[in-house]
Amino acid sequence: MLKLSIEFDPINSFHLQCSFFDYYNQGMTLTPTLSTIDIITQCQAERGILEFNFADHEPGLYMFHTHQAKFTELGCMANFDIVDA
C-alpha cells in the first residue's frame, strides 16, 4: 500500500511501470474507486491510497515516475527493488 498526497503542486501524477494497482480515493471507502490501473493524476491537496503487489513478478527493478516533465527532471522517478522472498 502506498499513500499518495499532493501538498503544494497544482497537479501531479504517479505511473507504475509493469504492474497495475487499485486506487482508493480520499474518504473512507473500502471499495477501490478505480481498479486495475497504472496511472493516477491528482490535483493539489488530493490524496488517496494505491494498493498493489509484485508477488507474481520476477525479481528486478520496477520504475515509477510522474508524467509532469518538470518533476521528472527534478528526480521524481524511482524504482521498487523486488527481490525473491
- Residue numbers at the binding site for Cu ion (CB under 5 A): 15
**Distance in Å, CB of 9 to Cu ion, minimum:** 17
**Distance in Å, CB of 43 to Cu ion, minimum:** 19
CA separation for the pair 82, 46 (Å, rounded): 28
| Closest CB to Cu ion among residues 45, 60 | 60
**Distance in Å, CB of 57 to Cu ion, minimum:** 17
| Closest CB to Cu ion among residues 45, 61 | 61
